[in-house]
Each structure stands twice: as structure tokens, then as C-alpha cells.
Structure 1
């Protein structure tokens, strides 16, 4: 299993607009191809202009196949165009994580 941890930072004052744009035009397409995220939330402390989402994949090949299908989806392409035109996003950081060897094992005792 791998985890795709993504942090997006919006320009100040634009996160609510961006989240609404995504809810209306991107959410369904992304879930259709990637499944349900482990986390999708706005940052409440620290950089409050940011939001984070984490997606789980079987492996790098699974991630590549799902992301390719998403990229080819006309609904997703339309969202990306709207997102670019909105100018809400300032930056994006993607991190691929692998679980620690003890993660997911039952507690002893």
C-alpha cells in the first residue's frame, strides 16, 4: 500500500471559493476514479489557507492507472480548467508515503 498525501495552498481569502468549486465540479469525478480518500480537510491551525487530502493505492502501478483514468475524464478536465481560471491555488505539494512496518497490526495484550 502507498498513500498519496497532497497539500494545496490557496491565496488568502480564496479557500472557501476553491473548495466550493471543487465540490461542484471535481469531487464526483475524482472519487469515481480514485475511490474515497482517507482524509479530505481544510487546515484549521498553521497555514489556514491550505487543505489536505490523502488517497490510498495498492502500489505505484495502481496509482498510475487510476490517475491516468482521472486525467482522461472530461469532467475532471473541465474542473482543472475552471480551477486554473479561478486563480485560487498558490501551491501544491505531493508526498508519497509507505506505511511503517508496525502500522495496521493489532495491539499486543
Structure 2
């Protein structure tokens, strides 16, 4: 059964533009070298402002762990992460399973 990882980054107020440019120029190019597991990136418009949310889909926990191990072993991605971390105020990760009804991504 697939599992989903929902990552929410609270971005320091006033830094979302810098985060977006960093992802466009360095983060996304680095992530594209790895197996496609991303469902999507999202930003808040009303309510949860200054948040970057991303949803990932994995076959199972072993698939998830192997994916992140590969990403974290990538020097290009880790250089990007070193620049991103000071712009993040807080991070939440949630692992979820699809409900047994309705559509799934």
C-alpha cells in the first residue's frame, strides 16, 4: 500500500521569494535527478501564509527511506539544503495512507 509524506515548511516572514528562487535554481534541478516521487509543491494563499507544502508518494516505507537516502547523499542537493535551512522557521512531516474510498493521487 502506498504511503504519502506531507512536508510543511514554515518560511521566515519575508523570505518566501528567496525560497522560491532557491528551489527554482538549485532545489528542483537537484531533485529531478532522483526517481519521481513528488505529487506536488504548494504555497499558501489565504490562512497559512509563508508555508511551503510538498506531498510525496512512495510505494512503501522502504521505498521512502531509499529515496531520501539517495537525495541526502547527493552533494548538489545538500548544498541547496544548506542554503534553504536558515530560511525555515519550522518543519512538520506527516506520513499518511490513502483512505479506502475516494480518489488517490
Normalising by the residue count of structure 1, what TM-score does the alignment of the two structures yield? 0.86
Q: Please, what is the CA RMSD of the aligned residues?
A: 1.6
Aligned residue runs from structure 1 range 28-47, under 5 A: 28-35=29-36, 37-47=38-48
Aligned partners of 2:37 and 2:58 also within 8 Å:
no
In structure 2, the residue corresponding to 1:35 is in which secondary structure? coil
Structure 2: distance between partners of 1:11 and 1:59:
32
In structure 2, the residue corresponding to 1:38 is in which secondary structure? strand
Shift of residue 65 of structure 1?
Answer: 0.3
In structure 2, stretches of 5+ residues that fail to align are none
Aligned partners of 1:4 and 1:96 also within 8 Å:
yes
Give a deviation string over 1:81-107, Cα, whole Å, max 9, x none: 2223xx2110110001100112348xx
Structure 1: distance between partners of 2:3 and 2:69:
17
Aligned partners of 1:34 and 1:55 also within 8 Å:
no
Normalising by the residue count of structure 2, what TM-score does the alignment of the two structures yield? 0.89
In the alignment, what sits opposite 1:7?
Answer: 8
Q: Does 1:74 align with 2:75?
A: yes
In the alignment, what sits opposite 2:84?
Answer: 83
Give a deviation string over 1:1-38, Cα, whole Å, max 9, x none: 01110111111111111111121111122232241521
Q: Which has the larger radius of gyration?
A: 1
Structure 2: distance between partners of 1:11 and 1:83:
11
Number of residues of Structure 1 aligned to a counterpart in Structure 2: 103
In the alignment, what sits opposite 2:26?
Answer: 25
